[in-house]
């Protein structure tokens, strides 16, 4: 039986970033209290035994992830209440990875110490860039100096596992600016880096600003060069690329995020949270925070969508999620699990991708090349 992961969604922010399309809203103390009570109630009412026969029911938990939003806006008392609810419902491993997303400038030395005391042992914070002008364009409320101070605060509080988020391909961002940005991040020596190419989502302020010509459109060729620079510089600094967008020092992979890519079960709580039973069933919660609270209070749960994957869909999903990992997919194990022979089913596509230098097949291991990682969506489309 595989250990499960727990995801906790905290939808509150100081302000909304211009590129964000997540389920978030402005922090308000009374709503936060109401929301945490509903969150605790949802966890208490959750019963894995209600999952369909054959589900990978896992009460053993070894990762907990507070995402958002800005979970660090919660009071330590509220974090304690949530973690207590998780520990009462599940058997949490004593060595569990407990991650909290934090925004620079929201964490004081006192808060960092209290979060650490509550059991949070991994911090992931949205640095995004060291360029203050770019931060302003993105609608971020912190400065580069805030980010540097936040790392010091976390280290002083005893955090030995810290992850940075950085964004490449920002409007008007040059390869040279990105390289300097990356060099500064590497000099600070976080244990983990999540590095993304900017995605512009319709309906966000950034999409509207680009449409109206306030900022230059992101340059896809420059973004590709930024990714290549990223791979080279992180490797030279001793970081391993273990997933398309994630890099770490040895032993500091995000254990929670690995569950998403390897098909392990995870249970999501809070508005917009998603869950997976480890086999074929996915379900998700109401996106609106107020409506979520109402559903939990009246129904004990806020699930608004359930999707049962067919055997073919489950095999396809396992293949393209596994290919996100640098270690790739073991085709013998894949066939044993799903009864699907990838070499036969996708032979023409595999030959095409191999000839283009996007994938490589070494024995029974199929994996993306570095160029394949850059063009991964084109590869994955063949398996959907």
Question: Which DSSP symbol is given to 216?
Answer: P
Fold agreement (4-261, 311-383):
no
What is the residue extent of each domain of the chain? Answer: 4-261, 311-383
**pLDDT at residue 144 above 90?**
no
Q: For 261-291, what is each residue's pLDDT tens digit?
A: 999 999 999 999 999 999 899 999 999 999 9
Phi and psi, residue 180, nearest 5°: -65, -40
* Alpha carbons 3 and 57: distance in angstroms, whole number: 9
Q: Which of 20, 13, 4, 24 is nearest to 273 (CA)?
A: 24
Q: Are 104 and 112 in contact (CB under 8 A)?
A: no
Q: Are 60 and 4 in contact (CB under 8 A)?
A: yes
Q: Which pLDDT belongs to residue 26? A: 53
Q: Are 277 and 51 in contact (CB under 8 A)?
A: yes
Q: Which pLDDT belongs to residue 338? A: 94
Q: For 325-365, what is each residue's pLDDT tens digit?
A: 999 999 999 999 999 999 999 999 999 999 999 999 999 99
**Architecture in CATH for domain 4-261:** Alpha-Beta Barrel (3.20)
Residue 235: its H or E element: helix 220-236
Please report, to the nearest 10 degrees, the dihedral formed by the alpha carbons of residues 90, 287, 255, 252 taken in order.
-130
Domain 311-383: CATH class, spelled out = mainly alpha
* Alpha carbons 175 and 181: distance in angstroms, whole number: 10
pLDDT (mean) for 248-260 = 97
């Amino acid at each position: 039986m595989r250990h499960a992961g727990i995801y906790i969604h905290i939808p509150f922010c100081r302000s909304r970033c211009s590129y964000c399309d997540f389920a978030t809203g402005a922090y308000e103390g009374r709503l936060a209290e109401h929301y945490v009570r509903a969150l605790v109630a949802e966890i208490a009412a959750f019963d894995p035994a209600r999952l369909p026969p054959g589900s990978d029911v896992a009460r053993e938990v070894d990762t907990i992830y507070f995402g958002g939003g800005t979970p660090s806006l919660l009071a330590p008392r509220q974090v304690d209440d949530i973690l207590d609810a998780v520990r009462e419902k599940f058997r949490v491993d004593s060595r569990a990875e407990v991650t909290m997303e934090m925004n620079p400038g929201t964490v004081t030395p006192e808060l960092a110490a209290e979060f650490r005391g509550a059991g949070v042992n991994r911090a992931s914070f949205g640095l995004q860039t060291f360029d203050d002008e770019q931060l302003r364009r993105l609608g971020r409320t912190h400065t580069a100096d805030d980010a540097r101070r936040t790392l010091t605060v976390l280290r002083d509080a005893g955090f030995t596992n810290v992850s940075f988020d950085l964004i490449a391909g920002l409007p008007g961002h040059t390869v040279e600016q990105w390289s300097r940005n990356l060099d500064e991040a590497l000099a600070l020596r976080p244990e983990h880096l999540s590095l993304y190419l900017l995605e512009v989502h319709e309906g966000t302020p950034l999409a509207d600003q680009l449409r109206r010509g306030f900022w230059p459109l992101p340059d896809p060729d420059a973004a590709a060069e930024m990714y290549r620079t990223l791979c080279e510089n992180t490797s030279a600094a001793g970081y391993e690329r273990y997933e398309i967008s994630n890099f770490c020092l040895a032993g500091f992979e995000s254990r929670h995020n690995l569950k998403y890519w390897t098909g392990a079960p995870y249970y999501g709580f809070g508005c917009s949270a998603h869950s997976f039973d480890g086999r074929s069933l996915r379900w998700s919660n109401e996106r609106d925070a107020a409506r979520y609270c109402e559903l939990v209070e009246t129904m004990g749960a806020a699930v608004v969508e359930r999707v049962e994957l067919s055997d073919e869909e489950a095999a396809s999903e396992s293949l393209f999620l596994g290919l996100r990992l640098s270690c790739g997919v073991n085709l013998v194990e894949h066939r044993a699990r799903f009864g699907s022979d990838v070499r036969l089913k996708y032979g023409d596509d595999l030959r095409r991708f191999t000839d283009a230098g996007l994938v490589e097949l070494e024995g029974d291991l199929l994996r993306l090349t570095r160029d394949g990682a850059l063009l991964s969506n084109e590869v994955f489309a063949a398996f959907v």
